[in-house]
Homo-oligomer: A and B are copies of this chain.
Amino acid sequence: MRSHYCGDLRKEHIGEDITLTGWVHRRRDHGGVIFLDLRDREGLTQVVFDPDREESFTLADSCRSEYVVEVKGTVRGRPEGTVNPDMPTGEIEVLGKELVILNKSETPPFQLDEHQQVGEEVRLRHRYIDLRRPEMQEKLRFRSKVTNAIRSYMDEHGFLDIETPILNRATPEGARDYLVPSRVHEGHFFALPQSPQLFKQLLMVAGFDRYYQVAKCFRDEDLRADRQPEFTQIDIETSFMNEEEIMGITEKMIRKLFLELKGIDLGEFPRMPYSEAMQRFGSDKPDLRYPMELVDVADLMAEIEFKVFAGPAKDPKGRVAALKVPGGAQLTRKIIDEYTQFVSIYGAKGLAWIKVNELEKGVEGLQSPIVKFLGAEVAMAIMERLGAENGDIVFFGADKEKIVSEALGALRIKVGEDLEMAQCEWAPLWVVDFPMFEETDNGGLTALHHPFTAPSCTPEELKANPLEALSRAYDMVLNGCELGGGSIRIHNQEMQASVLDILGISDEEADDKFGFLLNALKYGAPPHGGLAFGLDRLIMLMTGTDSIREVIAFPKTQSSACMMTQAPGEVSAAQLRELNIKLRKTP
């Protein structure tokens, strides 16, 4: 129907007869002439209707916001003084000759450029209007481009796009699995996959060598700003490659994406062992845009009287660390109180601090509620270790290791953001050498990644000292977000059995949950490994948005009233009968 997209018209089209289709973005009546700003997915063009052409003028006059029209006309340069340099089509306009109203619109619940004046709920309820906003169009087009670029890259590197099932076998242990009752097998259920992990490993056992998929995954959890119950994963697995090769090929992909789609060279990604990341940044996904680091001071604190510090300093599972904030002495009491509140989220019982006012005066130059408990010698030794300077503030954490690392690690980023301390726009890295296991609260062990991750030691070493064992896992981190994670998998059945044994998973449970994989490992499984990227997260980062609802066309919402397609609904008694299920009464 159209000859051009509205947004594509430029000076070189002047004089051409063209046909446009699109939405009336704005209608203005100015000096006896009607101006329609016509919008399609490529942008806006101004169309002018003169009273000379009575029919089209009258129709144009009757147009309202969001009417859908077809316009035939001629492109002409805008009269001097009316050129709009802010619009890509601002040098031209179209003299409208014929107008067809293809569809009318009721007055929309909000104008596209006034969307901020209505609540998100209204916009979600009228999602088809909200999606017309140029920013939303832009983000979803960008998402399409990213997916395309990833697919091309994987294809060029010999990865096959193989679909894995959405309806999987449910198991009694599948917490957070969505369950789907089967009509055919009464009383039996499918489960929606949290990831295609099992299947991609089977594809390696089947010899496909290189696999990828843009895969839908599911987790039955409450909504969060950055999490939806269904999400999209770039899922990759390959045989006969080691971790260096897998990190290499996927790092190259992400760098290519940023370079080609955003013109940004991320540079080579540094590697950092998990232990170093926890030590220096209190996080397994450190945000390296901020230069501040956690510094351990337990050795300086162990002998003081003050139990708040001395206790954790002497506890093998404790940690005492300091975070120096350059220029932070300016922080007000109110802000420090807010930070104290903030670290309490992570379990910290308080937030000790020292302001460095006049270091040349020694301990007298320090302002702090705690210096008197530390003593001058310890306080000055800490200042020296931190390389503190006048104008700095130092925060302290002293507690169980996990609490201190998490609390100061999070504070580090919060202060960094508040004081605008980022030293670069993008800070990627690989975190490697993760522990195989971590202790659970009840003293058991749990896999830090998942039970298919290969250790970097022998089965004997693993059994002898599981908490010391490192895994062959790797996480790609960008600006403090985990973009992707993966590992070399166990391809040997004995090793897999050892790991499950250490995790206390019974043979029966193992057989029930992973039996198909365990069996497959008996029949010639190749060495293999892989990685998964969260696509939603990647797009959020690349487009600089905090809300996952801005990068998904039809997100789920909390309220079922909000958007009828996007929340669960009611079903009939007959449907339930057919599925052989009853609803319980709410207790």
Contacts and interface: CB of A to CB of B under 8 A. Distances in A.
Interface of A: 1-2, 21-23, 39-41, 66-68, 70, 102-106, 108, 126-129, 131-132, 137, 140-141, 143-144, 147-148, 151, 155, 160-175, 178-192, 198-199, 202-203, 205-209, 216, 218, 220, 222, 229-230, 232, 239-242, 491-492, 515-516, 519-520, 522-527, 552-554, 556, 560, 563-572, 575, 577, 579-584, 586
Contacts of A586: 186-187, 580
Contact of A174 (B67, B190, B571, B582): B571
Given A1-B240, A106-B523, 6 more contacts: A147-B161, A148-B161, A164-B554, A165-B556, A580-B586, A581-B581
Nearest to A201: B128
Contact of A575 (B172, B209, B527): B172
A457 B577 CA distance: 42
B523 A126 contact: yes
A128 B189 contact: no
Nearest to A580: B584
A128 B517 CA distance: 9
Given A169-B564, A568-B189, A102 B584 contact: no
Nearest to A190: B568
A104, A169, A523: which has the most chain B beta carbons within 10 Å?
A523
Contacts of A143: 162
Nearest to A188: B568
Given A151-B148, A492-B103, A128 B222 contact: no
A239 B524 CA distance: 51
A301 to B, nearest CB: 46
A174 B568 CA distance: 13
A379 B128 CA distance: 64
B569 A577 contact: no
Contacts of A229: 167
B567 A169 contact: yes
A1 B241 contact: yes
Contact of A581 (B41, B569, B582): B582
15 contacts: A41-B209, A103-B524, A103-B525, A105-B523, A106-B523, A126-B519, A131-B206, A164-B554, A165-B565, A169-B564, A175-B575, A180-B192, A183-B220, A184-B222, A581-B583
B164 A166 contact: no
A570 B170 contact: yes
Contacts of A203: 128, 131, 553
Given A199-B553, A524-B66, A569-B171, A230 B179 contact: no
Contacts of A190: 178, 568-569
A199 B166 contact: no
A582 B582 contact: yes
A179 B180 contact: yes
B102 A527 contact: yes
A165 B524 contact: no
B169 A568 contact: yes
Given A1-B240, A128-B523, A208-B137, A569 B166 contact: no
Contacts of A554: 164-165, 199, 202
A560 B230 CA distance: 27
Contact of A240 (B2, B155, B160): B2
B571 A179 contact: yes
Nearest to A151: B151
B180 A162 contact: no
Contacts of A137: 207-208
Contacts of A182: 220, 568
Nearest to A196: B554
A102 B216 contact: no
Given A520-B128, A570-B188, A584 B577 contact: yes
A582 B584 contact: yes
Contact of A169 (B151, B566, B575): B566
Given A68-B524, A164-B553, A553-B203, A568 B140 contact: no
A385 B239 CA distance: 66
Contact of A127 (B1, B179, B183, B206): B206
A203 B131 CA distance: 8
Nearest to A169: B569
A170 B571 contact: yes
